[in-house]
Amino acid sequence: MYEAPVQRLIDELARLPGIGQKSAQRLAFHILHIEAEDANRLAGAIVAMREQVRLCRRCFNVTDSEECTICRDLRRDSSEVCVVERAQDIVVVERTQEFRGRYHVLGGSISPIEGIGPDQLRMRELVVRVDDEKIVEVIVATNPTVEGDTTALYLARLLKPLGVKVTRLASGLPVGGDLDYADEITLGRALAGRREL
Amino acid sequence: MNLVWLALRDYRSYASLDFHPDPGVNVLLGENGSGKTSILEAIGYLATLSSFRRSPDAALVRLGADAAITRGEFSSGPSGAVIEVETPATGRRRVLVNGKGGRSRADVAGVVALVAFLPDDLDLVKRGPAYRRDYIDDVAAQAWPAAATEQTEYDRVLRQRNALLRRDGRSADGATLDVLDERMSELGGVLLARRLAICSLLGPAVSELYADLGEEAEAVDWYYLAAGIGPVEGQPGAAELAGGLRDGLSGARRADLERRTSTVGPHRDDLVISIGGRDARSRASQGEQRSISLGMRLAAFHVLTERRGSAPVLLLDDVFSELDASRGRRLVARLPRGQVFVTSARAEEVPLVGKRWRVVTGEVTAE
Ligand SMILES: [Zn+2]
């Protein structure tokens, strides 16, 4: 519909989550009118992030070195691990100021509808960590959805035979949404009131 | 409970409609195909987020339009709620309750109660178990809005289990299936407990109203039949029911792997209705079946009036043409006072006094 270079950008933007055709058009035309320098900085930031950021070899959080800042922080309690679906959930849990252990990013939750089973998630890596790092408690903070609950139960059955305590956030989080639908206080309470699975 | 106003944009044949009904009885008169049922459907859509004609969302969008907008305000005593639904021809619909994003049936069930009598209500008695399950679940969701969420969650875990079975069949991962079975038992137990609770309220009401409606002396009775488990008596708690489901699912595991679907669970259950000891589905006359279905709708209306403290909005879509005059009058006599919407092609067949509206393709005018 538009000149090829404009249309190409619209198409790329529209592939981003939460961006529809109309928003993509609005963004593209905004970018068309900003200073060339600003456009370069935006493009540069995208490229740099992709080049410099990788996954923490221990917990699979995003980082710019071998291990993420949380895993490198010696003040954190290495006997507790909080399991989340996505790296961005770590920020949500961190905001509560209630958790001082480390994390493990699964990469999603069990959902046969989307073709995701335990093998598509970083479960084996977690089992290895439980053994290597002398982990005492695994707190499952997957989303309060049917898939998140199913994954929590799967993890409990997988890890309990290893002698580790497996807990789940207390109920009270908005059902069916992502972890970040909950405010800090609610999530903090859910962490404090976690129960054994 | 009553509808204060209804506004439609690009809904079915309505490019635009602003309708301010009477808080009492509203009789919508119009030829077949004039769009009078669409108005009732739109009111029902706001209350249940689905079409009582069982139409897919896309069918609600006026031909050539991008999206249908359905908006309405319901009031119940001092409290009220504006519900707005944007239904695109393709893609996900958006629901706002009082300007805030709602996401599920529970969000609207919390603020609106509605019962619809439909021309094909005979299906409730005559057709497959799905019709009766939908009936029970609909009443339960309005009686306890949390039940709507529980239904959605059960549905979701069922779809996950079926997806796994369909894709992998006999080679499906046992440990994954185990946890899905566990979740399905728990959520199913909760769903079952709700169904049994609402059935225990509806059952006596159906028998009584049926006796009231017809001349037939035979008693109407029903019981809940859990697939793979058997008839459920009394009212076991959710935990006990979950236990039964756990056993049912493990017993059906081999068959499920074989058939690549879930053969046991509340999604396969039925409400078995009998009249004078005969099976109502296969061995009752059409007249008996019609009276039973009327009794079921009336019972829903009574139970919800009781539970919510005010009469739900009542929709009567072309119901009187199917009833003889005396039954029609008896039905009307048993309706608690509240707001009513009636459609009919012929004014004289409606045994209700109220405000009359004339519906001509895409327009509604007061008579
Ligand atoms: Zn890390």
Residue B159 CA to its chain's centroid (Å): 21
What phi and psi, each to the nearest 5 degrees, are found at residue B361?
A: -10, 100
Q: Least CB-CB distance to A110: which of B167, B176, B187?
A: B176
pTM comes to 0.87
pLDDT for res A176: 61
**pLDDT tops 90 at residue B157:** yes
Residue with tokens 């109660």: B113
Q: Do B182 and B246 form a contact (C-beta atoms < 8 A)?
A: yes
What is the crossing angle of helices B145-168 and B238-259, to 10°? 30
B183: distance to nearest CA of chain A, Å? 7
Contact A176 B104 (CB under 8 A): yes
Q: Out of A4-18, B29-43, B273-287, B319-333, pick the least confident.
A: B319-333
A64 CA to middle of ligand 1, Å?
11
Whether residue B36 has pLDDT greater than 90: yes
| Residues of chain B above pLDDT 90, percent | 72
- Confidence (pLDDT) at A151: 96
Nearest to B157 by CA among B183, B133, B192, B194: B183
B119: nearest Cα among B313, B348, B342, B358: B342
On whether the CB atoms of residues A148 and A121 are closer than 8 A, the answer is: no
**How far is Cα B57 from Cα B62, in angstroms, rounded to an integer?**
11
* Residues 6+ away with beta carbon under 8 Å from A88: A180
* pLDDT surpasses 80 at B74: yes
Domain boundaries of chain A, sorted by first residue? 4-52, 62-168
Which chain A residues have a beta carbon less than 8 Å from that of B182?
153
Q: Does A153 touch chain B (CB under 8 A)?
A: yes
Q: What is the pLDDT of residue B272?
A: 96
* pLDDT value of position B275: 93
Predicted pLDDT of residue A142: 94
pLDDT at B334 over 90: no
pLDDT, residue B343, reads 94
The pLDDT value given to residue A174: 66
Residues with CB under 5 A from ligand 1 (ion): A 56, 58-59, 61, 68, 71
Distance (Å, whole) CA B6 – CA B102: 19
Helices then strands, counting H and E runs in chain A, come out as 8, 7
Single-letter residue type at B179: V
User: Which CATH number is A4-52's, of 2.30.30.40, 1.10.8.420, 1.10.1370.30, 1.10.10.10?
Assistant: 1.10.8.420
Six token digits for residue B257: 């792997």
Calculate the dihedral angle through the C-alpha atoms of A102, A106, A108, A112, rounding to the nearest 10 degrees.
Answer: -150
Q: Are the beta carbons of B62 and B129 closer than 8 angstroms?
A: no
Sign of CA dihedral A5, A10, A12, A13: positive
CATH of domain B128-309: 1.20.1050.90
Superfamily of domain B1-113+311-366: P-loop containing nucleotide triphosphate hydrolases (3.40.50.300)
Q: Which helix (H) or strand (E) holds A82?
A: strand A77-84
Least confident of A44-48, A95-99, A174-178, B72-76: A174-178
Q: Which of A150, A158, A175 sits opposite B180 (nearest CB)?
A: A150
Q: Measured at the alpha carbon of residue B127, what is the angle toward residues B151 and B155, in degrees to the nearest 5? A: 15
Q: Which of B308, B367, B354, B306 is nearest to B74 (CA)?
A: B308
Judge whether residue A38 has pLDDT over 70.
yes
Q: Is the model more confident about B291 or about A156?
A: A156
Complex ipTM over 0.90: no
The Cα of B157 is separated from the nearest Cα of chain A by a number of Å equal to 6
Average pLDDT, chain B: 92
Per-residue pLDDT tens digits for A121-146? 999 999 999 999 999 999 999 998 99
Structure letter (DSSP) for residue B219: P
pLDDT band at A175 (very low <50, low <70, confident <90, very high): low
pLDDT of residue B314: 95
Residues of A in contact with B179 (CB under 8 A): 110, 150, 153-154, 157
pLDDT higher than 80, residue A177: no
Instruction: Average the pLDDT over B176-192 and give the result.
Output: 96
Please tell me the predicted confidence (pLDDT) of residue A28.
92
pLDDT in tens, B239-262: 999 999 999 999 999 999 999 999
Mean pLDDT calculated for residue range B95-121: 87
pLDDT at B234 over 90: no
Kindly report, residue by residue over A87-99, the tens digit of the pLDDT: 999 999 999 888 9
**Please, which pLDDT band fits residue B218 given cuts at 50, 70 and 90?**
confident
Q: Could you say which of B149, B167, B182 has the minimum Cβ distance to residue A175?
A: B149
Q: Is 70 exceeded by the pLDDT of residue B82?
A: yes
- Domain map of chain B by residue range? 1-113+311-366, 128-309
pLDDT surpasses 70 at B216: no
- Partner-chain residue, chosen from B160, B173, B178, that has the shortest CB–CB distance to A111: B160
Cβ atoms A113, B167 nearer than 8 A:
no
Question: In chain A, pLDDT over 90 holds for what percent of residues?
Answer: 67
Q: CA–CA separation, B160 vs B152, rounded Å?
A: 12
Least confident residue range of A178-192, B222-236, B284-298, B320-334: A178-192
**CATH number for the domain formed by residue range(s) A62-168:** 3.40.1360.10
pLDDT at residue B246, as a whole number: 95
